[in-house]
Amino acid sequence: MINSIEKLKEILVCGGTGCQASESNRVFEVLKEEVKAENLDKQVKVIMTGCFGFCEKGPIVKVMPDNVFYVEVDEASARKIVKEHVLKGRIVEEKIYKDPKTLEKIPEQSSIPFYKKQIRIALRNCGKIDPENINEYIASDGYMALAKVLKEMAPEEVIDIVKRSGLRGRGGGGFPTGLKWEATRKSKGDVKYVICNADEGDPGAFMDRSILEGDPHSVLEGMAIAGYAIGAKQGYIYVRAEYPLAIHRLKIAISQARQRGFLGENILGTDFSFDVDLKIGAGAFICGEETALINSIEGGRGEPTVKPPYPAQVGLWKKPTNINNVETFANIPPIILNGPDWFSSIGTEKSKGTKVFALAGKVNNVGLVEVPMGITLREIIYDLGGGIKGGKKFKAVQTGGPSGGCIPYEYLDTPIDYDNLNALGSMMGSGGMIVMDENDCMVNIAKFYLEFSCDESCGRCTACRIGNKRMLEILNKITEGKGEMEDLETLRELAETIKDSSLCGLGQTSPNPVLSTMKFFYDEYVAHVKDKTCPAGVCTALLKYYIIPEKCVGCTACAKVCPVNVIHGEPRKVHVIDREGCIKCGECFRTCRFGAITRK
Amino acid sequence: MCYCDEQSKFEELRKFIQEKRNDKGALMPVLQKAQEIFGCLSYDIQEFISKELKVPMAEVYGVSTFYSQFTLEPKGEHIIRVCLGTACYVKGAQAILDRLSKELNVEVGKTTQDGKFTLEATRCLGACGLAPVMMIGEKVYGRLIPDDIPNILKEYQK
Ligand SMILES: Cc1cc2nc3c(=O)[nH]c(=O)nc-3n(C[C@H](O)[C@H](O)[C@H](O)COP(=O)(O)O)c2cc1C
Ligand code: FES
């Protein structure tokens, strides 16, 4: 039973990009109107928070302290939440999450299967606080870690804690964060910089975006602690222009932090000064690579440079620079507050803590999850993700974006950590996780990623600029049904050469999607090349169109739309396609209203 | 047309450049501002920036052609951006893009003859939960099927 409104209530509305796209702004307005209309302003606060992660079921609304979690809230149910739940203490049953398997209604967030196995460290405040109000961050222990560091610790001690925690970079590479800080601290020079990499370029990834939108102060606090540890006074956040909401909230957060003395001169009355500025990207994937990012901040073309020297030695404006990812920084304050042993007790031997994944594709519960390292792919996809959409068969899960690979069913029980994913020919990457089913063609997916890499190659080194193009040409040939078996050998050779001879991480990893699909789904390649068929029914040039006689009513619609007039038949009689002249445009397939045309 | 002749726009840009002139790495923010003001970075605008900021034209051109956000040609009144990120791609974003291209009779990356729409393919918009996704201006449309397209376009064709 829920008590009526003696205690202060909070109605939390998800303001993440996903929910905003499903009109959570409107829900927010309606809730506020309704609270006002009922004269509840004093007892009920309506707050827009960052992403709850359960984007599949958005817009999400949560009523606290009753701990009731509503899904797919629209205007009408928003009104009902105020009138029924808030006023009368009656839960609005129809908007409670219902487990599709057990049909049980689950009002409590932490009991919903999607959340059960999650441990939220980097996302600790997302969906809990108003990201535009620094007081709420402070009330959740915000800036306590910074205060602790400044008042009680020497920079070396901070570095030691981060080292002992075992935290590794969440931007993809997995480099130990403490070691990087130490290297930057030890580099000679008075002026040093801290950069937060918020370029999040992997297609299908939105972890960093959600942290910036949902809890921008945690990133600022992490950066300030890094600044203290390495001896820097200035930090920059390099954020994608495609993230307007994140930019907006960061601007607010920076100005509030300055006002309250967490950024600027003599922070908290100590002699440590540190400030943060925003740099907005302009749409180039390669700028996520650290040396390219530095060139971009300097105002030039975002092309990578050869390492070494590493940014820790020669970075922004030629000064020692420490670059970390958004999620890496967000992990820092809890590590300082709870200690390194707490953090390293979570995870596997070599990968500590949690990782945020953006679960997307053909899975029932699309959204953002933060799970302990060492959890298996199967747990994420089937327990949290609720299995494959539409009862289809699982084919592969892609991790690591264009640098990663596709992992097949046999390896679903692999515990996730940096090293295991590398061993499978994929990568942790920044945390994109795309689930694919039987209707996805692996050759086509490989082609998709290669197109991406070709587009985004900066063109500086030959292996990547030309090599990837040649690979793409071969894949095009194969998906058009013109491939030969030698092509597969050439493809593999090219891939190895590009990996070995490219200048930066983009080229060094761009062949991974091809290599991993060739390794695990070689039979699909062979089907395209030898049998000239696409088993998943995706590659249009390889499809053959058929009319199913039992279903055809002879309406003539297909014959009318066929641009090359190869469909014949009399009205009200079964039609046939003359496949000789068929150009496989698919018009008939789209036009038929009786499902009488198939393609294989 | 860019209407690049508008004096006040250049004045606004000049002011911005003066503020930023002494900042390190000013070129990017200046180009971003210029694009915001003019909608594109035509040759004249780039030349203006080169002079005012005292940066060689080659560098201005090099930077403005490197980043996909910058456009040298003016864009349509409404910019349609179809997400071709992986999550959207596996959920049929290509068919959405094809349909738009067909309905508007325009190639991807180009602007319709009447200057009303520019059709673009973009990278992940971070709304993968609603895949496939497109944006028209700032508005996000999710869970699309090709047959949704004509009706959505109608809202803008009035
Ligand atoms: C092509 C390419 C793209 C990258 N994109 C990103 C990115 O979007 N975000 C990110 O944090 N790191 C990205 N990285 C990794 C960075 O170079 C760098 O390793 C990382 O920001 C370091 O932070 P971390 O140690 O906290 O992970 C990319 C690397 C390469 C080679
Ligand atoms: S892949 Fe389309 S929004 Fe992420």
Q: Which residue has the higher pLDDT, B3 or A129?
A: A129
For residue A367, the domain's CATH number is 3.10.20.600
> What would the mean pLDDT of A66-90 be, rounded to a whole number?
94
Cβ-contact A81, A92 below 8 angstroms:
yes
Name the average pLDDT for chain B. Answer: 89
Q: Contacts of residue B122 in chain A, CB cutoff 8 Å?
A: 242
In a domain, residue A34? The reply is yes
Tell me which of A418, A437, A456 is where a domain ends: A437
Confidence of residue A236 (pLDDT cuts 50, 70, 90): very high
Q: Which residue has the higher pLDDT, A5 or A296?
A: A296
Name the average pLDDT for chain A. Answer: 93
For residue A495, the domain's CATH number is 1.20.1440.230
In a domain, residue A3? The reply is no
Tell me which of A65, A84, A116 is where a domain ends: A116
Say how many C-beta atoms besides its own lie within 10 A of residue A399's C-beta: 24
Residue A416 has a pLDDT of 95
Cβ-contact A78, A34 below 8 angstroms:
yes
Residue B5 has a pLDDT of 59
Sort strands A405-408 and A394-399 into parallel, antiparallel or unpaired.
Answer: antiparallel
Tell me which of A343, A368, A394 is where a domain ends: A343
Of residues A215, A217, A46, A244, the one with CA closest to residue A126: A215
Count of domains for chain A = 5
- Residues A292, A414 within the same domain: no
In a domain, residue A121? The reply is no
Q: Tell me: the pLDDT tens digits for A98-157?
A: 998 899 999 999 999 999 999 999 999 999 999 999 999 999 999 999 999 999 999 999
CA distance A434 to chain B (A): 6
In a domain, residue A495? The reply is yes
For residue A298, the domain's CATH number is 3.40.50.11540
Tokens standing for residue A124: 């600790």
**Axis crossing angle, helix A155-165 with helix A216-230, rounded to the nearest 10:** 120
SS3 A238: strand
Cβ-contact B35, B41 below 8 angstroms:
yes
Residue A1 has pLDDT above 60, yes or no: no
A321-325, A330-334, A579-583, B95-99: lowest mean pLDDT where? A579-583
Distance (angstroms) between ligand 2 centre and the Cα of A349 equals 33
Amino acid making up residue A476: N
In a domain, residue A124? The reply is no
Residue B1 has pLDDT above 50, yes or no: no
Distance of alpha carbon A283 from alpha carbon B67, whole angstroms = 6
- Residues A223, A317 within the same domain: yes
A78-82, A144-148, A459-463, A490-494: lowest mean pLDDT where? A459-463
Give, rounded to a whole angstrom, the gap between the first and last alpha carbons of chain B.
Answer: 22
Residue B114's contacts (CB-CB under 8 Å, 6 or more residues apart) are none
- Residues A338, A470 within the same domain: no
> What would the mean pLDDT of B46-51 be, rounded to a whole number?
95
Q: Using CA atoms of B71, A325, A334, A427 in order, give the dihedral in degrees to the nearest 10.
A: 120
Amino acid making up residue A353: G
Give how far Cα A90 sits from Cα of A44, A87, A93, A171, Å: 16, 8, 8, 45
SS3 A393: coil
Report residue B42: phi and psi, to 5°. Answer: -70, 170
Distance of alpha carbon A375 from alpha carbon A363, whole angstroms = 17
Are residues B29 and A301, on separate chains, in Cβ contact within 8 Å? no
Distance of alpha carbon A40 from alpha carbon A476, whole angstroms = 62
User: Percent of chain A having pLDDT more than 90?
Assistant: 82
A273-277, A403-407, A482-486, A582-586: lowest mean pLDDT where? A582-586
Say how many C-beta atoms besides its own lie within 10 A of residue B158's C-beta: 4
- Residues A154, A232 within the same domain: yes
> What would the mean pLDDT of A526-550 be, rounded to a whole number?
91
Q: Contacts of residue B87 in chain A, CB cutoff 8 Å?
A: 203-204, 360-361, 366, 434
Residue by residue, DSSP assigns A316-365 as GGGS-EEEEEHHHHHHHHHHHHH-HHHHHTSB-SSSBSEEEEEEEESBSS
Confidence of residue B21 (pLDDT cuts 50, 70, 90): confident
For residue A17, the domain's CATH number is 3.40.30.10
For residue B82, what is the enclosing H or E element? strand B78-83
SS3 A543: coil
Q: For A16, which residue in chain B has the nearest alpha carbon?
A: B127
Sort strands A68-70 and A97-98 into parallel, antiparallel or unpaired.
Answer: unpaired
Are residues B66 and A458, on separate chains, in Cβ contact within 8 Å? yes
Residue-range definition of the domain harbouring residue A591: 544-599
Q: For B59, which residue in chain A has the nearest alpha carbon?
A: A300
Distance of alpha carbon A469 from alpha carbon A454, whole angstroms = 6
Confidence of residue A8 (pLDDT cuts 50, 70, 90): confident
In a domain, residue A577? The reply is yes
Q: Contacts of residue A244 in chain B, CB cutoff 8 Å?
A: 138
- Residues A249, A187 within the same domain: yes
Tokens standing for residue A497: 């050469």
- Residues A145, A28 within the same domain: no
> What would the mean pLDDT of A175-189 be, rounded to a whole number?
97
From the candidates A213, A294, A318, A448, which should be mutated to test the interface with B, based on the most B CB atoms within 10 A? Answer: A448
Question: Which 3-state string (H, E, C) describes B88-100?
Answer: HHHCCHHHHHHHH
**Axis crossing angle, helix A207-214 with helix A244-259, rounded to the nearest 10:** 40
- Residues A461, A524 within the same domain: yes
Q: Using CA atoms of A394, A492, B124, A176 in order, give the dihedral in degrees to the nearest 10.
A: 90
Cβ-contact B88, B133 below 8 angstroms:
yes
Residue A492 has pLDDT above 90, yes or no: yes
> What would the mean pLDDT of A218-238 be, rounded to a whole number?
98
Distance of alpha carbon A125 from alpha carbon A46, whole angstroms = 16
Residue A23 has pLDDT above 90, yes or no: no
- Residues A178, A202 within the same domain: yes
Q: Using CA atoms of A68, A73, A78, A83 in order, give the dihedral in degrees to the nearest 10.
A: -50
State whether the beta carbon of A528 lies less than 6 angstroms from ligand 1. Answer: no
- Residues A161, A310 within the same domain: yes
Q: Tell me: the pLDDT tens digits for A247-304?
A: 999 999 999 999 999 999 999 999 999 999 999 998 888 999 999 999 999 999 999 9
- Residues A413, A554 within the same domain: no
Sort strands A105-106 and A193-198 into parallel, antiparallel or unpaired.
Answer: unpaired
Cβ-contact A416, A355 below 8 angstroms:
yes
Residue A2 has pLDDT above 90, yes or no: no
CA distance B72 to chain A (A): 14
Cβ-contact A361, A434 below 8 angstroms:
yes
Residue A21 has pLDDT above 90, yes or no: no
> What would the mean pLDDT of A391-413 be, rounded to a whole number?
94
In a domain, residue A349? The reply is no
Are residues B127 and A317, on separate chains, in Cβ contact within 8 Å? no
> What would the mean pLDDT of A378-388 be, rounded to a whole number?
95
Distance of alpha carbon A345 from alpha carbon A597, whole angstroms = 57
Most confident of A263-272, A571-580, B23-32: A263-272
In a domain, residue A254? The reply is yes
ipTM topping 0.85: no
A220-229, A374-383, A408-417, A542-551: lowest mean pLDDT where? A542-551
Residue A352 has pLDDT above 60, yes or no: yes
Tokens standing for residue A437: 């089913």
SS3 A98: strand
CA distance B132 to chain A (A): 10
For residue A593, the domain's CATH number is 3.30.70.20
Ligand 1 nearest-atom number relative to CA A506: 1
- Residues A367, A334 within the same domain: no
Confidence of residue A465 (pLDDT cuts 50, 70, 90): very high
Q: For chain A, what is the radius of gyration of the CA atoms?
A: 27
Q: Tell me: the pLDDT tens digits for A467-480?
A: 999 999 999 999 99
Residue by residue, DSSP assigns A8-66 as -EEEEEE-SHHHHHTTHHHHHHHHHHHHHHTT-TTTEEEEEES--S-GGGPSPEEEETT
Confidence of residue A6 (pLDDT cuts 50, 70, 90): low
**Axis crossing angle, helix B57-66 with helix B43-53, rounded to the nearest 10:** 130
Residue B131 has pLDDT above 90, yes or no: no
Q: Tell me: the pLDDT tens digits for A423-444?
A: 999 999 889 999 999 999 999 9
Distance of alpha carbon A521 from alpha carbon A504, whole angstroms = 28
Distance of alpha carbon B76 from alpha carbon B120, whole angstroms = 11
Cβ-contact A260, A315 below 8 angstroms:
no
- Residues A515, A469 within the same domain: yes
Of residues A330, A290, A360, the one with CA closest to residue B126: A360
Distance of alpha carbon A234 from alpha carbon A281, whole angstroms = 19
